[in-house]
Amino acid sequence: MARLGIRVLGDPVLREETRLVTEVTPELQQLIDDMIETMHAAKGVGLAAPQVGRTERLAVVEVDGAAHVLINPEIVEREGSIKWEEGCLSIPDIYGDVTRSARVVVRAMGRDGQTVEIEGTELLGVCMQHEIDHLHGKLFIDHLSFLKRTKVLAQWEKEKAKYPGLVRTIFDDEDDDPAHDDERM
Ligand code: NI
């Protein structure tokens, strides 16, 4: 397994539409394993392929010790509304409240190519919606009010100097703020 570099806000890959996966190959399974390792190292709860510079429609999430692989995920049911403070591994140290559906059912293929349906509320539901957004070039900051987004983008202008080439390397001693443990996705 290998830890992958995470692309940060400004890299055009984060705004690209992904392409449907037609076959789960050993190479794709290797990418899945590398993404899970990268998500763990970055102390995240979710990671989507564009965040590691890839265009496959693929994301991984892990909430309460349960990991899910989402290949070609689609939301097939949604209800209610929930507000959650979100952050993104591609926009480090920036957080904001986002309103999403309170409960979703996601249909996807798993690592073995079998179709599964995953129901999620709270963090799992929020995280799956955040990752599916990534697969369509959308970021959590797009959900913020104009005023809040303007503020966040100004903050990011200073932050992004830390990431030469718009790539974030995840180090062993990554010491992200534990107050945001359920928010990095
Ligand atoms: Ni994200």
pTM over 0.75: yes
Q: Which tokens sit at 7? A: 């692309």
Distance (Å) from CA 143 to ligand 1 centroid: 12
> Is the pLDDT at 122 greater than 90, yes or no?
yes
The confidence score (pLDDT) of residue 183 equals 87
C-alpha 47/C-alpha 130 separation (Å) is 9
Which entry of 56, 62, 86, 131 is annotated as an active-site residue?
131
- The question of whether 117 is a catalytic residue gets the answer no
Distance (Å) from CA 68 to ligand 1 centroid: 16
What residues sit around ligand 1, an ion, with C-beta below 5 angstroms?
88, 185
The H or E element spanning position 167 is strand 167-168
Pick from 102-106, 107-111, 129-133, 179-183: least confident:
179-183
Specify the 3-state DSSP secondary structure of 144: coil
Fold classification of 6-174 (topology level): Peptide Deformylase (3.90.45)
Nearest to 30 by CA among 107, 131, 111: 111
Distance (Å) from CA 25 to ligand 1 centroid: 25
pLDDT band of residue 52 (cuts 50, 70, 90) is very high
Nearest to 123 by CA among 170, 90, 87, 152: 87
- Looking at the chain, the whole-number percentage of residues with pLDDT higher than 90 is 92
C-alpha 11/C-alpha 100 separation (Å) is 25
> Is the pLDDT at 175 greater than 80, yes or no?
no
* pLDDT tens track for 134-146: 999 999 999 999 9
The confidence score (pLDDT) of residue 97 equals 95
Q: Which tokens sit at 46? A: 């979710």
C-alpha 1/C-alpha 13 separation (Å) is 23
Q: Do the beta carbons of residue 71 and residue 110 sit within 8 Å? A: yes
Domain range list for the chain: 6-174
* pLDDT tens track for 151-165: 999 999 999 999 999
The confidence score (pLDDT) of residue 82 equals 98
What are the helix (H) ranges across the chain? 26-41, 122-134, 146-159
Q: Do the beta carbons of residue 69 and residue 35 sit within 8 Å? A: no
The confidence score (pLDDT) of residue 111 equals 96
Pick from 55-59, 164-168, 178-182: least confident:
178-182
Distance (Å) from CA 166 to ligand 1 centroid: 15
Distance (Å) from CA 27 to ligand 1 centroid: 23
pLDDT band of residue 1 (cuts 50, 70, 90) is confident
